[in-house]
Structure 1
Amino acid sequence: MEFSLLGPIAVTTGSAELALGPAKRRSVLALLLLQPNTTVPLEQLIDSLWEEEPPEHARTVVQGHVSRLRATLAEGGAEAYGIELATHGSAYLLRLPEELIDAHRFGELVALARPEAAPADAVPLLREALGLWRGPALTGTVTSPPFAAAAHALEERRLTAVEALGRAHGTLGEHEQAAAILYSAAVNHPLREGLIAGLMRALFHTGRQSDALEWFHRTRRLLNEELGVDPGERLRGAYEEILRAEAAGGGRTGAAKPASGARGTGGPSGGTPSSGTPSGDGRSGTSGDGRSATGSGARPVDGTARAPVQGSAGTDDARGDAGAPDSDGTRQGTPADGRGGSGSGRTGASPRLLPRPPARFLGREDQLAALTTVLTDGTTGESPLAVVAGPAGVGKTACAVQWAHLYAGSFPDGQLFADLRGFGEGDEAAPAEILGDFLLALGTPPEQVPSSAQAASALFRSLVAERRLLVVLDNARSSAQVRPLLPGGPHCATVVTSRSRLDGLVATDWARPVGLQTLGHEEGAALLGAMLGPDRVAEDPAAARELVDLCDGLPLALRAAAAQLTARPRWRLARLAAALRDERRRLALLSAEDTGIAAALRMSVARLSADDARLLSALATSADGHLNASLAAALAGYDPERTQDGLDRLTEMHLVDEEATDVYTISTLTQLFARDERGEGGESGTGGTGDGS
């Protein structure tokens, strides 16, 4: 159920609008909504409903309207929304969650926007706020002075938001958009000096100096004729600023570098309308990644956290010294400024969305240390970002989640986690879907979650700008999918996992790559020992080494092999190794119910173009999995340029590895999968992304 004051008075539930009746009944509701959760005396209602002397039966009329409103709200299911219209003596109280009122949501969105400090975030927030308006405020109420005053106050708040939106666009260097937004408001409010001043600056920066100066002289004449006053400081200041710039040889400056703290788009579009009115549709032209640099001037975090050390084989994880709690209950690895476990002092939810720590995690000391170095570096004043990349089944998710649990104490305002389904069954997760989940977890009421991805992204960044928050984005398909989900605060950190290198994030967001390789013989045998027991592995170390080779050193494949042996306690390791030597059965045996290496590879190959999939199938026919670009071109029947481009894409997706210049390798398991034109590889079970290890 939603209540509308910013336009015609209305109450909607679902897609239906409740019938509220005549103007006086709507006016009673409006007055109660203007003072929600506050008792409103009956006398105040009477005074507001009648401009002249109220009739003798006014009290009875108001009571009747309240009674009908109570019945209408009840029919609309008000109780389910926590809404109650109560009587308290000779006063009334409309009890409800204030976020159900559009004027309240408008005020909160405007309050979150910071046009100068974070203009790229402010633009979608302010647009979302102004989008709540459906016409003049309090339309449909009586025309008494109290309602006129309330409508005027709401209109002032709207104009303030319009001015702020114009300033945000101007800070981003988007002066065409600023002029388009401010123009219509200035026409309707020709004496509002702050609005005119903003329009003058926007017009000047688009090269329309004469239009800008004409607005000043027009407004000066109106002020003198209608109010008998001269222009105030804001209007006069804009006029003098333009004159000084002209004298200094200024002009169109829209392509200038955006102000500090903003990521601009490189300036407005060209063209000056012959009529002198601004062009453009006023839509946002935020930067490609939609983020704002809010870390300027923030106190840096000392990035001296200790990296985790390896746990012994067969232990639950690799926490070691770095994962041990200190005396105050926080983990070591907290940055040395002492803020790690004490929280940021901000109010609101502190979500803990991390999945459970990975079972029997061990090794990966270098990668965990690399994540620590990247994610606890507070010297840049920016929000650190790491990308954990590697082939399917290599353990990217496990590594990221392990680190997140080890250093959860360094992020007392919460840890967010989302599976982006970039390489899973069905469609990848839309940014708007993930942002909605994040905003709800951070305490945003469902009614206040913006419908557009851009506004939701801006609201997310605004909410976490001053928090110490960790965001783990798992299984990303592309950089574009990730960018709207990145927090902007300097005390936030983000870990992304993907089968792709996500070079775009490296280029635009200074992401630091942390690559994961397959396990060697010693590490692979240790993983088998952790899952099967060290004695079972120690009785046949040669077979353990062979199993690691047959599994290509992939943790996912080794875990599936361990599952087969766990289900068959009488089997020796050598028996499974013998079965896996049969290439026709290997992929099927390296599957365990809803997970397996074939399922994981299927998701990677499904994201390839038809040309790249054919190239991969051709590479799979290589005798030993080693080849160069010339041999690849011969196998695929492609020209050299087309082959090289395809090899680059397959390498980026970790389906092929470039060991040295023009030396490519394809793993045995990938070869086996690619040789099967159906993409089933003899696997007995299907489903699952298989990248959970």
Structure 2
Amino acid sequence: MEFSLLGPIAVTTGSAELSLGPAKRRSVLALLLLQPNTTVPLEQLIDSLWEEEPPEHSRTVVQGHVSRLRATLAEGGAEAYGIELATHGSAYLLRLPEELIDAHRFGELVALARPEAAPADAVPLLREALGLWRGPALTGTVTSPPFAAAAHALEERRLTAVEALGRAHGTLGEHEQAAAILYSAAVNHPLREGLIAGLMRALFHTGRQSDALEWFHRTRRLLNEELGVDPGERLRGAYEEILRAEAAGGGRTGAARPAGGARGTGGASGGTPSGGTSSGGGRYGASGDSRPATGSAARPVDGTGRAPVQGSAGTDEAHGAAGAPGSDGTKQGTPAAGRGGSGSGSGSGRTGAPPRLLPRPPARFLGREAQLAALTTVLTDGTTGESPLAVVAGPAGVGKTACAVQWAHLYAGSFPDGQLFADLRGFGEGDEAPPAEILGDFLLALGTPPERVPSSAQAASALFRSLVAERRLLVVLDNARSSAQVRPLLPGGPHCATVVTSRSRLDGLVATDCARPVGLQTLGHEEGAALLGAMLGPDRVAEDPAAARELVDLCDGLPLALRAAAAQLTARPRWRLARLAAALRDERRRLALLSAEDTGIAAALRMSVARLSADDARLLSALATSADGHLNASLAAALAGYDPERTQDGLDRLTEMHLVDEEATDVYTISTLTQLFARDERGEGGESDTGGTGDGS
């Protein structure tokens, strides 16, 4: 006879399961099994079975359940197993060998396991222990606080065993197994710091540095949002350990270095190959809306010195350009600025491999040849004697992060002293990243001991500039809100280059730091159809080119929206493009349909609107009532009820944030999707989209 608490409450004899009756009877048995060979007072049973005031006949009810349990156990042959359910005055005692209870066997197996001292023995012991679980503990009992507390305690023991099994596999060098075991538990318990720390280490040792760092930033955000606390010592320790190991080029066993290096300071959610976003909460991803540069932009080579493989759609495979420099230390076709010693400058204080903190290359990256070429011109210009700076700006969901990250991977070889990446969270759900936090991460990645990282942003900025003064380093600052947020993070060396992405134009950086703007526009019909073809397969798009063109129009040419549309079609392989186009024509449903799990155009726009002043938000809402989205300052003033000067200032700010376009002098346009979103925020649009949290920057 065996008793089960680790899942549904059950009693089995051989292959047969005894019928235990209703939830309260199962709960009586569970409480007795939680305290085997111990007298349990009747009052304790009553208090556990009823959350509120128990009925007057509660004692009789409990006595009846005990009587039925005693008869059920007797029918199952309990006496032969040494099992007895006895009454002791106003208390009950379930006398039995404790090894018959699965929770007891679980505890014994876990106690025997020694993950660090004897990992080879610990793995089978812990696997056997965890194999006893058949679902959430105490399933089938009443939902009272005592049972909830008992179930929670058992679940804590299970998670401790999962962590121990992960450590045992890690000690054996079986990091893939450790990561697989810890992953599902981490997904279900995203605030358990010890579990996340173990998963981060396992991922790092398999070469997935980017994913490891993403888990840290995702958990940090959740801790802040849900509990209002910062990461504890274990989680922060794992993060700093990974950064130090990455900077020193060590800490990995049995795993090849991934092409993209480690993901930088700002990730929360596993990179989204089909998303077009870098979420303000720290999620990385890139909307692959462009092809690597050809023609005017020099074509780089991969880490073997060969040109990247050309894809069937005429694109360089992103992974082919993300590796180490060519045999001469540079990318073919890049200027001599990419040559030279690595970290040989005075005061570098660096040992080990340079940091490689870029996110993984964006998937299905198409087009954008002109923008990639412009970045090449700006960032490899060695004639000014200054550190070049480019600002990639555009509306939410247009693929700014994708463009910057793609270029960074293509020309990583021009920066042999490393590539740094940070999500500044300027347009995320939480607070923007303070410069001191990003600088601390950068300094750790560059090999600075934690105790030598200054606490003030000013001192950390000075140390950062000193360390990289003579290095050839690329810095990618993603999702910036303002110029002031960016300035402390800029390297000062003439051989360093910086790419900033933002929904704002960041005119301040242009004025004070000679930043060169690189604007991204929405996709035309041909490019948008090509993106759909890359996502869905060219045959599916070719069978209805007119519908493909209409989808591009309905998505306003935004890669993020097109990717969400492609996700809808991927999930419905029998749908023709025309069917989705017909659904999207319904303006009440369009925003909801243009979302895919944690990515959506409405969520992306929400992050932009959240950064507006109340006056500007009201102006945008008024502009959304325009019949065709075309208007001038006079019409905007009439719609908003503002005076001309106030209206013009507001239009300028909305234009700077790419929520409104100024096509010509005093000719403004607002996109259809922005109009729909603004109307929904006013409560005028029927169904409001709530799907997705990715900010689509």
1:374 and 1:639 mapped to 2: Cα distance? 41
Alignment partner of 2:92: what SS? strand
Alignment partner of 1:197: what SS? helix
Alignment partner of 1:418: what SS? strand
The change in CA–CA distance for 1:97 and 1:266 in structure 2 (over 3 A counts) is: farther
Match of 2:603 among 584, 595, 599: 599
CA contact (8 A) 1:263 1:287 kept: no
The change in CA–CA distance for 1:548 and 1:116 in structure 2 (over 3 A counts) is: same
* Between 59-68 and 628-637, the greater mean CA deviation after superposition: 59-68
The change in CA–CA distance for 1:432 and 1:68 in structure 2 (over 3 A counts) is: farther
CA displacement at 1:336 relative to structure 2: 2.7
Q: Aligned residue for 2:386?
A: 382
1:211 and 1:425 mapped to 2: Cα distance? 21
Matches for 1:117-266 after TM superposition, within 5 Å: none
Alignment partner of 1:319: what SS? helix
Quote the sequence identity (%): 96
CA contact (8 A) 1:304 1:376 kept: no
Q: For residues 197-231 of structure 1, give each alpha carbon's deviation from its aligned partner in whole angstroms, at most 9, with x where no partner exists.
A: 99999999999999999999999999999999999
CA contact (8 A) 1:316 1:360 kept: no
The change in CA–CA distance for 1:625 and 1:332 in structure 2 (over 3 A counts) is: same
CA displacement at 1:33 relative to structure 2: 58
1:636 and 1:365 mapped to 2: Cα distance? 40
CA displacement at 1:332 relative to structure 2: 2.2
CA contact (8 A) 1:529 1:536 kept: yes
Q: For residues 351-390 of structure 1, give each alpha carbon's deviation from its aligned partner in whole angstroms, at most 9, with x where no partner exists.
A: 1110000000010000000000000000001000000000
1:32 and 1:307 mapped to 2: Cα distance? 70
The change in CA–CA distance for 1:483 and 1:48 in structure 2 (over 3 A counts) is: farther
CA contact (8 A) 1:293 1:488 kept: no
2:318 and 2:217 mapped to 1: Cα distance? 72
CA contact (8 A) 1:389 1:396 kept: yes
CA contact (8 A) 2:6 2:135 kept: yes
* Between 204-213 and 611-620, the greater mean CA deviation after superposition: 204-213
CA displacement at 1:571 relative to structure 2: 0.3
CA contact (8 A) 1:261 1:293 kept: no
Give 5+ residue unaligned stretches, structure 1.
none
The change in CA–CA distance for 1:511 and 1:37 in structure 2 (over 3 A counts) is: farther
CA contact (8 A) 1:203 1:212 kept: yes
* Between 672-681 and 536-545, the greater mean CA deviation after superposition: 672-681
CA displacement at 1:313 relative to structure 2: 2.9
Q: For residues 445-497 of structure 1, give each alpha carbon's deviation from its aligned partner in whole angstroms, at most 9, with x where no partner exists.
A: 11111010000000111111111100000000000000000000000000000
CA displacement at 1:635 relative to structure 2: 0.4
Alignment partner of 1:413: what SS? coil
Give 5+ residue unaligned stretches, structure 2.
none
Q: For residues 578-636 of structure 1, give each alpha carbon's deviation from its aligned partner in whole angstroms, at most 9, with x where no partner exists.
A: 00000000000000001110000000000000000000000000000000000000000
The change in CA–CA distance for 1:539 and 1:226 in structure 2 (over 3 A counts) is: closer
* Between 645-654 and 6-15, the greater mean CA deviation after superposition: 6-15
2:589 and 2:218 mapped to 1: Cα distance? 85
2:34 and 2:674 mapped to 1: Cα distance? 65
CA contact (8 A) 1:173 1:255 kept: no
2:571 and 2:604 mapped to 1: Cα distance? 22
CA displacement at 1:12 relative to structure 2: 58
CA displacement at 1:334 relative to structure 2: 3.0
Q: For residues 239-270 of structure 1, give each alpha carbon's deviation from its aligned partner in whole angstroms, at most 9, with x where no partner exists.
A: 99999999999999999999999999999999
CA contact (8 A) 1:309 1:319 kept: no
* Between 76-85 and 612-621, the greater mean CA deviation after superposition: 76-85
1:240 and 1:635 mapped to 2: Cα distance? 53
Q: Aligned residue for 2:351?
A: 347
Alignment partner of 2:320: what SS? coil
CA displacement at 1:285 relative to structure 2: 39
Alignment partner of 1:526: what SS? helix
Q: For residues 544-601 of structure 1, give each alpha carbon's deviation from its aligned partner in whole angstroms, at most 9, with x where no partner exists.
A: 0000000000000000000000000000000000000000000000000011100000
* Between 407-416 and 671-680, the greater mean CA deviation after superposition: 671-680
Alignment partner of 2:337: what SS? coil
1:581 and 1:217 mapped to 2: Cα distance? 38
* Between 593-602 and 190-199, the greater mean CA deviation after superposition: 190-199
The change in CA–CA distance for 1:275 and 1:203 in structure 2 (over 3 A counts) is: farther
CA contact (8 A) 1:295 1:381 kept: no
The change in CA–CA distance for 1:143 and 1:351 in structure 2 (over 3 A counts) is: farther
1:226 and 1:540 mapped to 2: Cα distance? 47
CA contact (8 A) 2:48 2:145 kept: yes
Task: Name the Cα RMSD after superposition.
Answer: 22.0
CA displacement at 1:429 relative to structure 2: 0.5
Match of 1:660 among 627, 640, 664: 664
CA contact (8 A) 2:197 2:238 kept: yes
CA contact (8 A) 1:391 1:653 kept: yes
Q: Aligned residue for 2:20?
A: 20
Alignment partner of 1:557: what SS? helix
The change in CA–CA distance for 1:464 and 1:247 in structure 2 (over 3 A counts) is: closer
* Between 82-91 and 295-304, the greater mean CA deviation after superposition: 82-91
1:496 and 1:290 mapped to 2: Cα distance? 18
The change in CA–CA distance for 1:168 and 1:691 in structure 2 (over 3 A counts) is: closer
Alignment partner of 2:517: what SS? strand
The change in CA–CA distance for 1:397 and 1:192 in structure 2 (over 3 A counts) is: closer
CA contact (8 A) 1:619 1:625 kept: yes
CA contact (8 A) 1:8 1:137 kept: yes
Residues 1:293 and 2:293 are matched in the alignment: yes
CA contact (8 A) 1:594 1:688 kept: yes
Structure of higher CA gyration radius = 1
The change in CA–CA distance for 1:353 and 1:32 in structure 2 (over 3 A counts) is: farther
CA displacement at 1:335 relative to structure 2: 1.8
1:563 and 1:204 mapped to 2: Cα distance? 30
* Between 292-301 and 641-650, the greater mean CA deviation after superposition: 292-301
CA contact (8 A) 2:423 2:477 kept: yes
Q: Aligned residue for 2:613?
A: 609
The change in CA–CA distance for 1:664 and 1:84 in structure 2 (over 3 A counts) is: farther
CA contact (8 A) 1:176 1:279 kept: no
CA contact (8 A) 1:351 1:441 kept: yes
Residues 1:89 and 2:80 are matched in the alignment: no
1:597 and 1:377 mapped to 2: Cα distance? 36
* Between 665-674 and 71-80, the greater mean CA deviation after superposition: 71-80
Matches for 1:483-498 after TM superposition, within 5 Å: 483-498=487-502
The change in CA–CA distance for 1:328 and 1:521 in structure 2 (over 3 A counts) is: same
CA contact (8 A) 1:179 1:278 kept: no
The change in CA–CA distance for 1:116 and 1:668 in structure 2 (over 3 A counts) is: farther
* Between 258-267 and 520-529, the greater mean CA deviation after superposition: 258-267
CA contact (8 A) 1:99 1:447 kept: no
CA contact (8 A) 2:268 2:283 kept: no
Alignment partner of 1:3: what SS? strand
Match of 1:624 among 610, 628, 641: 628
The change in CA–CA distance for 1:91 and 1:473 in structure 2 (over 3 A counts) is: farther
* Between 111-120 and 464-473, the greater mean CA deviation after superposition: 111-120
2:134 and 2:382 mapped to 1: Cα distance? 45
CA displacement at 1:331 relative to structure 2: 2.8
* Between 9-18 and 284-293, the greater mean CA deviation after superposition: 9-18
Match of 1:548 among 549, 552, 558: 552
CA displacement at 1:676 relative to structure 2: 1.5
CA contact (8 A) 2:337 2:495 kept: no
2:200 and 2:179 mapped to 1: Cα distance? 8
Using structure 2 for the length normalisation, give the TM-score: 0.54
CA contact (8 A) 1:333 1:407 kept: no
Alignment partner of 1:677: what SS? helix
CA displacement at 1:333 relative to structure 2: 3.9
CA contact (8 A) 1:532 1:566 kept: yes
2:281 and 2:201 mapped to 1: Cα distance? 18
CA displacement at 1:661 relative to structure 2: 0.2
CA contact (8 A) 1:390 1:516 kept: yes
* Between 450-459 and 8-17, the greater mean CA deviation after superposition: 8-17
CA contact (8 A) 2:39 2:91 kept: yes
CA displacement at 1:500 relative to structure 2: 0.1
